[in-house]
A and B are shown apart, each in its own frame.
Chain A
Amino acid sequence: MSDHRSPELQVRLFASLREQLGWGEKRIPFPEGDQVTALAVWDALQLGPWPSGVRVAVNQQFVARDQRLEVDDELAFLPPFSGG
């Protein structure tokens, strides 16, 4: 049986970013374009200027914010860590 789902991306926000932007997790349509990156998604979601110290994870691995994304990736924007 063929899968007719539209291509999507899972986006997650944590801690201060989640509270500033008012949501923690959502599935969004996969943006159009040849080079879909975390930075492009940030801009497409109109999340404002890139905050200092924010890191990016794709499928729970750190990546550069200009790494190309794939359909169904889990993209997370991570504010500076303070554990331990």
Chain B
Amino acid sequence: MMNLPFCLRSVVVNHSLFDHCVQVEVRPEPFSPWSELERWSPADAALAMFVGRVRGKSVDGAPLQALELEHYPGMTEARIAEEAEVAMASCGACSALVLHRVGRLNPGEVIVLVAVAADRRGPAQSCCASLLEALKHDAPIWKREWCRDLGSWLEGNTPR
């Protein structure tokens, strides 16, 4: 197990290793990805980002009332930060920002923002894609769809 130095402030994890800068935060309240990107604003030449939002339909195609997200506090932030370090080292990226919602979300609300900065577009884009996939498969987060006042837990991710 790699021993990573990080400070845990509430639900925020900041990693700084190998000259990388990683900010991970799990939030119970809505956020604007555009404001967050402006605030983050690293100086690198290339920025890649992904914004995931709640669909209007369930996996079965029924109109969705809401999406509920639950996570394992502490482990979620640590896992994402570790995955970010691995992806950045592998792709040659410089910094990453990951914000993830929890709680009850309405259709259209932002679930996740993944942003990566690098000196060139290739590392930025590949790191952003690989960090998103790692997050989906290895961060302890669960979704429950609510349709017609009935909730059902999703078992796994939607296809890419």
Residues from chain B with a CB closer than 8 A to the CB of A14 are 70, 72, 140, 142
Contact between B142 and A15 (Cβ–Cβ < 8 Å)? Answer: yes
Instruction: Give Cα distance in the complex from A35 to B21, angstroms.
Output: 41
- B38 proximal to A (CB < 8 A): no
Q: Which among A16, A60, A61, A62 is the interface contact of B153 at CB below 8 angstroms? A: A16
A15 CA / B102 CA spacing, docked (Å): 13
B144 cross-chain contacts in A, Cβ below 8 A:
15
Q: Are B154 and A57 in contact (CB under 8 A)?
A: no
Q: Across the interface, which residues of A come within 8 angstroms of B157, CB to CB?
A: 81-82, 84
Whether A80 is near chain B, meaning CB under 8 Å from some CB there, is yes
A76 in the interface (beta carbon within 8 A): yes
Would A82 and B140 count as touching, CB distance under 8 A?
no
Chain B contacts for A48, CB-based, 8 A: none
Chain A residues closer than 8 Å to B138, beta-carbon distance: 62, 81
A9 at the interface (CB under 8 A from B): no
Interface centre among A57, A61, A76, A81 (most CB of B within 10 A): A81
Known contacts being A15-B70, A57-B75, is A83 close to B141, with CB within 8 Å? yes
A41 interfacial by beta-carbon distance below 8 Å: no
* Distance between A69 CB and nearest chain B CB, rounded to angstroms: 16
Please indicate the chain A residues that have their CB under 8 angstroms from the CB of B70 in the complex. 14-15
Q: Which residues of chain A are near B140, meaning CB under 8 Å? A: 14, 57, 76, 78, 81, 83
**CB-based closest 4 A-B pairs:** A83-B141, A15-B142, A84-B136, A60-B75
* Given A15-B144, A78-B140, A82-B156, 18 additional A-B pairs, CB 8 A: A12-B72, A14-B140, A14-B142, A15-B70, A53-B155, A76-B75, A76-B140, A79-B155, A80-B156, A81-B136, A81-B157, A82-B141, A82-B142, A82-B154, A83-B76, A83-B112, A83-B135, A84-B135
